[in-house]
Amino acid sequence: MRYLFFLAVLFSNLYASQIVNKTDSNMVKQPDSLVIDSGVRDSLKIFKPTIQDYISFTQFSERKVIDTVLSNEKTFAFTQWNNRDNFGRIQFANIGSGFNPLVYEVNPEQNLTLLPENKSFGFLGIKDIRYYDVKTPTTTFIYHNAVRNGAALNSTYTQNIGKNFNFALEYMGLRSQGLYSNSLAANNNTLFSGHYISTNLKYEAFAHFIHQNINNQENGGIANNELFMADDDAYDNRANVEVNLEGVTSQFSARRYYFSHQFAPFDPAKYPFKIRHTLFHQGNKYRFAQEALQPYFYQTTASLVPDFPLTTGKFSKNFSNTVSLVFDNESFKVDAGLRHQMMQLGVTESLNIANITVPAEIRENRIGAVGNLSVELWDRIGLNSFLEFSRGERFGSYIQSRNQFRLEPVQGYFVNAKVNFQSATPSFNYHLNTSPYRAYNYFEDDFKNQSILEIGGNVNLKWFDTQLFVNYFRIDNFTYLNGTRPQQSDSPVNISQIGGDATFRYGKFNLNSRLLFQNTLSNGDLFPAPNFIGRANLYFQSKAFKNAAEIQTGIKAQFFTKFSSREYSPILNEFVLPGTAAYDIGGIPVVDAYFNLKVKRMFFFIEGQHLNTLIDNNKVYTAPHYPFYDFRLNIGIVWYIIS
């Protein structure tokens, strides 16, 4: 697959290289064609596209120009293996191995599906898929070096066929050995997407297919924390550090077919009425494999299920069919529709022992409704609301409501408020599991809906590009893992968050900082988290080499207060409440130094990470028994090739 992809990119760019008068301008949009009169009857039209002719968007987002500006945000995104700003998360020692979330947040991608938390950080949902509209073939390469051996490369090729149809091919491959034994990460995504809109604007279609694999060796963390903290000479080579597991892997795969189209039976300019139809099938699989039984998970043979397979797995499937009526006006948009879903949840190896029975498969048909409302007034007031409801016999009712209000009282000053609510059965990973270890077998068929109310907002100010934000969460029937079993709280968990982001500038020097104060107001033992998380970025940015390039260099620091962290469960790929031997992590700042360079549309991100370990031994942990990475030279390259 990857070789066919690169051949397609190569030949398409060779073909596109025959086009004359290309430009790499990213200035204000100019006319995209120029008529040159030769002095005789014929004339020649030559296309001169600008960067504004290269557009990226999701199905329900506004269209934006492909961003080729060297900014503070990019230094936080393109130094991460998942190309996202991971503020509020702390990375495991190897790239592609996930994060420990320090901040409470709601992930809708886990609703009514199987998606373990530590497999979710590189997962691409329907709303993450980007479509394009480009004047000439465009290729993007995003490269990251790996830990010890390997690399990560994300390649995207997109091209318009005429003005109406665009297709895109994307492949991401990551393979990183890691410093510690049995910590290999091997992830890959294959994505095909297409977008079509008719010339008369009456018909529009979006389609994509994506296959994602997130595979990791699991080592269970280091076996002797005392020797590690003492900087024992035998641990200078991290490959010599004794770990808890050997020959163990966790594998997650997801495959989705998606097609959505809408048709306007009348002239859209006069009667903005449309009919939308959306179909998709999502299949997720999780597999835990081991070459032999691991003493780390059991004490005696009585803790084992006799003759049970060493490799176990579970899966979920969702076939969704939605028909909606849409009224699409410039300032007022509303749609409402009916949705039917056929869902499956099961395990590869069913179980029937004295105390527990885990069925091979659960099937359910769900009927529901969906609706959206969007109002824009005077370019100063905006309201966006979404509502979804469905009902089934096995997983009960599901409600999700998202409401956002935007106000711009003065040019450049924004006030955003939100009220979100969802009531849903917990993530399917909490419903069932089978394992040769008795403690890890469960089937929860009587869960109450976990209800989450989120109230918050932010204020954006021109002064120092300031953003102030506040969030409040109330979670009823909070679902968590206590050791090896899922449980639900009898009383609500209340969490408050308040923080801000600002950038101070003096000449070519900049200081960006982001602070978050978080407090679990009730039942704090069910969601242990740091009370404070912060980061700062002091950098110098300037044009260089006679304005042929741009440089950005500086120092970054991140910090979170000490707290008793949840522990990581390799079997479930979830985080569980700390046990009796738990210990605090945090309270130690991590400092990085970096040099970034932009030449035309090529970016180089070079970063020395965790400088602390150059002068002292590593005392930072991602989670109990899982040390943070040591000093490493991290290299990221981003290259936009516009033919």
Quickly name the fold that domain 44-642 has.
Answer: Maltoporin; Chain A (2.40.170)
CA atoms within 13 A on the CB side of 44: 8
Q: What is the 3 state secondary structure string of 473-499?
A: EEEECCEEEECCEEEECCCCEEEEEEE
Three-class DSSP category at 162:
coil
Residue 512, SS3 per DSSP: strand
Domain residue ranges in the chain: 44-642
pLDDT at 11: 38
Q: Are 83 and 96 in contact (CB under 8 A)?
A: no
pLDDT of residue 51: 87
pLDDT at 10: 40
Q: What is the DSSP string of 457-471?
A: EEEEETGGGEEEEEE
- 463 CB burial (10 A radius; 0-12, 13-18, 19+): exposed
- What count of other Cβ atoms lies within 10 Å of the Cβ of residue 556? 21
What is the Rg, in whole angstroms, of the alpha carbon atoms belonging to the chain? 26
How do 466-476 and 248-263 pair as beta strands?
unpaired
Alpha-carbon span 18 to 364, nearest angstrom: 55
Query: Whole-angstrom Cα distance, residue 542 to residue 562?
Result: 37
Question: E strand or H helix at 74, and its extent?
Answer: helix 72-77
Q: What is the pLDDT of residue 44?
A: 59
Cα–Cα distance measured from residue 521 to residue 403, given in angstroms and rounded to the nearest whole number? 24
From the DSSP assignment, how many helices (H) and strands (E) are in the chain? 3, 39
Q: Are 97 and 302 in contact (CB under 8 A)?
A: no
What is residue 149's predicted lDDT score, i.e. its pLDDT?
Answer: 94
pLDDT at position 35 = 43
CB-count burial class (<10 Å; 0-12, 13-18, 19+) for 267 = exposed
Backbone angles phi, psi at 240, to 5 degrees: -85, -10
Region of 201 please: left (phi>0), alpha (psi -120 to 50) or beta: left
DSSP string, 223-247: S-HHHHHTT-GGGSSGGGS-BS-SS
Asked if 66 and 640 touch (Cβ cutoff 8 Å), the reply is yes
Q: Give all strands (DSSP E) within 378-449, no chain letters.
A: 381-392, 396-410, 413-424, 432-433, 442-443
For the chain of 643 residues, list the mean pLDDT of each consecutive stretch of 10.
Answer: 44 39 38 45 66 93 91 93 95 96 96 97 95 96 96 97 96 96 96 96 97 97 89 84 96 98 91 96 98 95 94 98 94 95 96 91 97 91 96 96 93 92 97 96 94 97 93 98 94 97 96 97 95 97 94 97 96 93 90 96 96 93 95 95 89
